Amino acid sequence: MTIDYNAKMPEKQDVTEVYNVDPLIVKSHYEIDYIHSYAQDSEFFRAIGKKKLMGSKCKKCSYTYATPRSHCMMCGAETEWYELPNEGRIHTFTTCYFGGEAFLKETPFNLVMVEFEGVDSLFMSRLIGAELEDIKIGMKVKAKFKRNLEFSPTDVYFVPVEEK
Amino acid sequence: MGKLSRNVYMISGGVTKFTKSSPDMDFRLRVKKAFDYAMNDANLELKDIDGSVASYFSDHFQRQLMSGVMVQDYLGLTPKPSRRVEGGGATGGLSFQAGVEEIASGRMDTCAVYGFESMSHVNTWKGNEFIALASDTNFDYPVGGFYTGYYAMMAARYLHEFGATVEQLAQVSVKNHNNALSNPYAQSPMNLTIQDVRNSPMVSYPLTRLDVCAMSDGAAVAILADEKKAFELCDNPVLVKGIGSGTDTMRLSDRPFGKVPLLPHEKESDYKNLKYPGVHSFRAGRTAAAEAYRNAGITNPLEEIDVVELHDAYTSSEIQTYEDLGLCKYGEGANFVSEGKADLKGKVPVNPSGGLLACGHPVGATGIMQAVFVFWQLQRSIKKHFGNDKLQISNPKRGLLHSHAGTGTYVTVSIMEAVK
């Protein structure tokens, strides 16, 4: 073992971005890639590739969900996959002019909660093809599916259906 | 479910002035300021505190895990027991109740509940993204990614369901911002008109910028004690008469369409055709209220409560909450505000402090701030702490505080009562 009495930490030339000196405020960067599993909800995302919107139906009490959920909140029993109707109606809606940073570039966008005939709960999605003043509660809408899947719930979206 | 097994009192409180950004202090120093205010106000010393509960919401804002113990350390409370409690927007209310339980269980005789959040570490839109991580990140976050968007959908359905107007929503903003003009702790006191609220930029229809609370840096502290210690340490303690909490589904989509859980003063025939909660009402809020009222022996809240501090992150949610709390029937909340019943001089003043809309919403501190303001109201010490008595409710006996998370996912209601 040799002790180096003149040991010196190597200098870096990376720049620290400074916003203010009193108090001292600097930029601190952080990013991460997750290894994210959709686990028991995987089938929902795969089915979109087959242009199917899958909800859940309780095997015991028959409560139907417009969302994936592998166990029933009403009775605790297991559910089974259940194909939702392609068309539904707007239960409620909004148009977002601002959003979280990741979505700012997409603003303005419409959010809708869709109700389906005979299904006990709702489904949240984007609505395109209509602007705020055109959107009404009760309006008929249908699901459309992206061709190039991102395996995100935005692979499905809704558009208005013309009612004669 | 029963009552608290021994009496719990609040004996002191402190709040920092909430601000958009105070980079001159970190979270530890901010809590220290509120803590010292509370300790000095009741002439307490560190040896008087048995332990604590730390209240903060997000680890993302500071990218620091275990911030709670850093506060414990800074305050000089180590090696005493402490834990962190977290539940989104209701973090403060849940933490306050955890502190109450520490005393009620007999484990501690005194407990400091400290809350904080420093949201200025990121810009507003990144902050909105962090907050949106408190929605289901598989199904809701990727679609909307924005809490105001979720609340806007609930508000739109509420307006449709009950025939309320956007101007009535705006009245909540006018009332709360105006109340805050006399609250030196408030972040954004403003003298507004309904038109000002409607003319401010649309965030998510029907909610404008002035229908929505802001992000904040802030801290608040509540000190709790059992009956013996309370009267030994404080000459004007306030009793925590009852607590309640409730939950609902994480996804708004999964809310059922069932029956209203009735409060003692309501009848099933009041809600014959109402499908509940759907997305227009907060079942967790109703559940919390029912439990708190049962424990506090309240059968007609409008007549038995003198002051309310509730979680008005959005004007719409204040109106929805009047109904969950049974201050009026479901569907009557918009008229409740437009008839002036929630005004400072109304039937039951709601958010005399200015609420979240005007005080700001440093999440972990917010529910504790409400406890401190209700405590000061019931102590009748607003003048001492605010430097003026414009917001002091005359001779209030009972106060209610309401803390609310997610899209109504965790909600707490606590009832406090003046004893002097």
Residues B167-182 pLDDT 10s: 999 999 999 999 999 9
Chain B residue numbers with beta carbons less than 8 Å from the beta carbon of A41 are: 138
pLDDT band at A14 (very low <50, low <70, confident <90, very high): confident
What residues are paired with A115 via a beta bridge?
A89
Give dist(CA B119, CA B163) in Å, integer.
36
Chain A residue numbers with beta carbons less than 8 Å from the beta carbon of B205 are: 94-95, 97, 132
Give dist(CA B373, CA B87) in Å, integer.
21
Cα–Cα nearest to A124, from B157, B212, B275, B258:
B157
Q: Angle B363-379/B91-104 helices, nearest 10 degrees? A: 60
- A29-43: average pLDDT: 95
Chain A residue numbers with beta carbons less than 8 Å from the beta carbon of B132 are: 100
**Domain locations in chain B as residue ranges:** 8-123
pLDDT band at A15 (very low <50, low <70, confident <90, very high): confident
In this structure, what DSSP letter does residue A120 have? S
Mutate which: A96, A105, A121, vs B, most B CBs within 10 A: A96
Chain A residue with CA closest to B123: the answer is A101
Give dist(CA A134, CA A160) in Å, integer.
10
Give dist(CA B419, CA B152) in Å, integer.
41
pTM here? 0.97
Give the DSSP per-residue string, A37-106: --GGGHHHHHHHTTT--EEEEETTT--EESS--SB-TTT--BEEEEEPPSEEEEEEEEEESS--GGGGGG
CATH number of B8-123: 3.40.47.10
- How far does B149 lie from chain A, in Å, by closest CA? 6
How confident is the model over A79-102, as pLDDT tens digits? 999 999 999 999 999 999 999 899
- CB-count burial class (<10 Å; 0-12, 13-18, 19+) for B262: middle
The parts of chain B modelled with pLDDT lower than 70 are none
What residues are paired with A78 via a beta bridge?
A71
Question: Which residues, in sequence order, are CB contacts of A130 under 8 Å at separation 6+?
Answer: A110, A139, A159, A160
Chain B residue with CA closest to A41: the answer is B138
- Helix (H) / strand (E) containing A160: strand A156-160
Pairing of β B307-309 and β B276-277: unpaired
A73:B249 CB<8 A: yes
Question: Which residues, in sequence order, are CB contacts of A37 under 8 Å at separation 6+?
Answer: none
Chain B residue numbers with beta carbons less than 8 Å from the beta carbon of A101 are: 123, 125-126, 128-129
- How far does B294 lie from chain A, in Å, by closest CA? 25
Question: Which residues, in sequence order, are CB contacts of B253 under 8 Å at separation 6+?
Answer: A66, A67, A113, A121, A122, A123, A124, B139, B140
- CB-count burial class (<10 Å; 0-12, 13-18, 19+) for B193: exposed
Q: Tell me the one-letter amino acid at B72.
A: Q
| Three-state DSSP state, B58 | coil
Q: Tell me the one-letter amino acid at A60.
A: K
Give dist(CA A160, CA A142) in Å, integer.
6
Mutate which: B253, B254, B259, B283, vs A, most A CBs within 10 A: B253
Question: Which residues, in sequence order, are CB contacts of B20 under 8 Å at separation 6+?
Answer: B120, B187, B214, B215, B216, B217, B360
A153:B125 CB<8 A: no
In this structure, what DSSP letter does residue A112 have? E
Chain A residue numbers with beta carbons less than 8 Å from the beta carbon of B126 are: 100-101
In angstroms, what is the C-alpha Rg of chain B? Answer: 20
Q: What is the ipTM of this complex?
A: 0.96
Backbone dihedral angles phi then psi of residue B114, each to the nearest 5 degrees: -115, 135
Residue A1 has pLDDT above 80, yes or no: no
Cα–Cα nearest to B403, from B168, B243, B185, B208:
B243
Chain B residue numbers with beta carbons less than 8 Å from the beta carbon of A107 are: none
Which parts of B268-364 are beta strand (E)? 276-277, 307-309
Does residue B128 belong to the interface with chain A, where contact is any CB pair within 8 Å? Answer: yes
Chain B residue with CA closest to A69: the answer is B254
- Residue B125: how many CB atoms within 10 A of its CB? 15
Token pair listed for A138: 């009760």
